[in-house]
């Protein structure tokens, strides 16, 4: 009788149980807000976000088809015949608004004119270096730049956006500090690398629960809708916000063998233009601004798509019509439970740490050797203390200046950008971290430089943070080719053809975002 009762009233019992849980949660939330509002504010925000989404999902499932049929489709049918001409009016209006905003901003801060000039210069360079400049489709380019501008405007120029990302940055910094508990027990005071293991574990858990796929899918849908790109391109770009160099390519692994060269180029550029969440956590633990890193990583997704379609436009006409692959499929992880997912994430984190440590040992040793050779050669012609950083500081000074860096800091930022491009971003952020913290003996730049640069201006720090945010360096080209070559062995020749160009485009994405920050 007991089992029969449970089976008969199973749905009712479940609803009562869920209702009790909700009531208990609401009671706890109200009590927390009354007793300690500041500490409970983050929980309130998360609750409201979940509540809004549940309301949206309910409305979508219940009334979505009716709304689409009765309201959206008639609007589309009305606008579509005249959209060919209306889009130019919309574009003109958007350009006028942007021009007015930039005019007002530069009137208050004339130094920003340099960053605007740098922004235009980088776009012009990308167009001149385009594989097929006469076949550029401007919709993905303009929409990608528009999304970048809107994100930059929201985060960097509005108090709401700045406080939002600052809030997220603070919570992110607080969250990754939990890694200190585990690392202190095993390693003692070694905070950076264990952070990577912890965050990789969390990412694996989010994947197992399906939350990561959900966020990536929604971001990909937005970019596909606005930019008019294929589904795999959108998924890869959205995944690059959270995942590593080859991980975002793994999201679209089934499609790699049949992608066009332009689509392969876009996938590779998305990987080069951003950094993985686990690496972002490591940079944050070094003292780099989490809010700047988060903003730069989010802005990199639409910007990488825009520059990809500018530098390597799609020439396969089938991809512009009905044969374009619009699927937004994301591979589901095969872990059977949370424990297995956490273990797999930790193992992945260890491999990432090994890769980072190995690269640091190799590249710093190589840098010391190169600097010794350059100093020896420079001494022959009476050039004292000639180093790799010194050469980079002069070669990349124009780019640093165009990004909006104050002149007195241009050589510092140029050194950092050169270090990031020719060595890797980890070494560059280590250098910058030491400058920001003032841990530079005698006001010199660490890791081999002997020039009196001193600490950077806050604006220079912000611009450098954006410019360095990405895996675009020569070492990463080999990693990307190796990883994607295994996933699509038949496309290794095509991947090799576009690899170097995509890496340089990824570096341009960082500079373009730096111009926006400037």
Looking at per-residue pLDDT, the higher value among 104 and 464 belongs to: 464
Q: Would you say residue 136 has pLDDT above 80? A: yes
Per-residue pLDDT band for 442 (boundaries 50, 70, 90) equals: very low
Tokens for 199, please give them. 């965050």
Burial classification of residue 43, based on how many CB atoms lie within 10 Å of its CB (0-12 exposed, 13-18 middle, 19 or more buried): middle
**Who wins on pLDDT, 323 or 286?**
286
Q: Residue 284: name the closest of 184, 434, 177 by CA.
A: 177
H or E segment and range at residue 123:
helix 112-128
C-alpha triplet 448, 454, 459: angle, nearest 5°: 115
**Distance, CA of 55 to CA of 518 (rounded, Å):** 39
The residue ranking higher by pLDDT, 213 or 470, is: 470
C-alpha torsion sign, points 75, 81, 82, 85? positive
Q: Would you place residue 282 in the very low, low, confident or very high pLDDT band (cuts 50, 70, 90)?
A: confident
Instruction: Give the rounded distance of the alpha carbon of 394 from its chain centre.
Output: 28
**Contact (CB, 8 A) for 298 and 204:** no
| Confidence grade of residue 180 (pLDDT, cut at 50, 70, 90) | low
> Which whole number is the average pLDDT over 80-101?
80
Which range is least confidently modeled, 20-24, 127-131, 313-317, 438-442? 438-442
Q: How far apart are CA 252 and CA 247, in angstroms?
A: 9
Q: Give residue 20's pLDDT.
A: 93
| pLDDT confidence tier of residue 319, bands split at 50, 70 and 90 | low
Report the b/e string of 336-371 with b at 16+ CB within 10 A.
eeeeebbebbeebbeebbeebeebbeebbeebeebb
| Angle at 183 (CA atoms; ends 178, 185), nearest 5 degrees | 110
**209 pLDDT above the threshold of 70:** yes
CA–CA dist 449, 67 (Å, integer)? 63
Q: Average pLDDT of the chain?
A: 80
The 10 Å CB-count burial string (b at 16+, else e) for 45-71 is eeeeeeeeeeeeeeeeeeeeeeeeeee
Residue (of 378, 412, 408, 374) closest to 396 by Cα position = 412
SS3 content of the chain, % helix, strand, coil (to 5): 80, 0, 20
446 confidence band (pLDDT: 50, 70, 90): very low
Gap between the Cα atoms of 300 and 266, Å rounded: 12
- 8 Å CB contact between 495 and 485: yes
What does the pLDDT read at residue 322?
Answer: 46
273 or 449: which leads in pLDDT:
273
Phi-psi region of 275 (alpha: psi -120 to 50; beta: other; left: phi over 0): beta
Contact 472, 509 (CB under 8 A): yes
Q: How far apart are CA 12 and CA 414, in angstroms?
A: 66
Is it the case that residue 454 has pLDDT exceeding 70? Answer: no
Residue range 364-420, pLDDT digits in tens:
788 788 888 888 888 888 888 788 878 887 888 998 898 888 888 888 888 888 888
């Amino acid at each position: 009788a007991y089992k029969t009762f449970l089976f008969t009233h199973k749905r009712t019992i479940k609803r009562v149980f869920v209702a009790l849980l909700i009531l208990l949660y609401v009671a706890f939330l109200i009590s927390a807000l009354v007793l300690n509002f500041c500490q409970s504010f983050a929980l309130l925000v998360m609750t409201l976000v979940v509540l809004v989404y549940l309301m949206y999902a309910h409305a979508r499932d219940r009334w979505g088809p009716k709304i689409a049929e009765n309201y959206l489709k008639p609007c589309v049918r009305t606008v579509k015949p005249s959209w060919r001409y209306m889009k130019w009016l919309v574009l003109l209006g958007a350009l006028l608004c942007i021009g007015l905003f930039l005019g007002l901003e530069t009137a208050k801060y004339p130094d920003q004119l340099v960053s605007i000039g740098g922004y235009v210069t980088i776009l012009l360079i990308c167009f001149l270096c385009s594989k097929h400049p006469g076949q550029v489709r401007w919709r993905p380019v303009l929409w990608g730049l528009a999304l970048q501008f809107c994100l930059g405007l929201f985060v960097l120029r509005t108090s709401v956006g700045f406080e939002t990302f600052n809030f997220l940055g603070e919570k992110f910094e607080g969250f990754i500090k939990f890694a200190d508990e585990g690392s202190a027990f095993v390693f003692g005071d070694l905070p950076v690398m264990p952070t990577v293991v912890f965050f990789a574990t969390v990412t694996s858990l989010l994947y197992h629960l399906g939350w990561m796929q959900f966020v990536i899918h929604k971001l990909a849908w937005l970019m596909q809708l606005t930019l008019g790109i294929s589904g795999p391109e959108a998924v890869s770009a959205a995944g690059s916000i959270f995942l590593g160099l080859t991980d975002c390519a793994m999201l679209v692994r089934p499609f790699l063998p049949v992608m066009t060269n332009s689509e392969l180029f876009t996938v590779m550029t998305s990987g080069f233009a951003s950094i993985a969440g686990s690496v972002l956590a490591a940079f944050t633990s070094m003292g780099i601004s989490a809010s700047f890193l988060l903003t730069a990583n989010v802005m990199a997704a639409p910007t990488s798509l825009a520059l990809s379609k500018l530098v390597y436009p799609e020439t396969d006409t089938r991809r512009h019509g009905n044969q374009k692959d619009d699927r937004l499929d994301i591979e589901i992880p095969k872990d059977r439970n949370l424990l297995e997912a956490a273990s797999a994430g930790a193992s992945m984190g260890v491999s990432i740490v090994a890769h980072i440590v190995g690269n640091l040992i190799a590249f710093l040793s190589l840098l010391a050797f190169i600097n010794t050779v350059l100093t020896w050669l420079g001494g022959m012609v009476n050039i004292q203390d000639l180093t790799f950083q010194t050469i980079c500081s002069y070669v990349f000074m124009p780019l640093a200046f165009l990004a909006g860096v104050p002149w007195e800091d241009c050589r510092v930022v140029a050194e950092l950008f050169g270090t990031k491009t020719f060595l890797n971003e980890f070494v560059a952020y280590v250098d910058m971290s030491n400058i920001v913290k003032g841990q530079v003996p005698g006001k010199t730049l660490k890791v081999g430089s002997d020039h009196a640069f001193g600490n950077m201006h806050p604006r220079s720090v912000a611009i450098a943070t954006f410019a360095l945010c990405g895996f675009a360096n020569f070492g990463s080209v080999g990693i990307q080719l190796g990883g994607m070559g295994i996933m699509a062995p038949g496309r290794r020749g095509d991947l090799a053809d576009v690899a170097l160009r995509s890496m340089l485009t990824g570096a341009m994405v960082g500079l373009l975002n730096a111009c926006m920050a400037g």
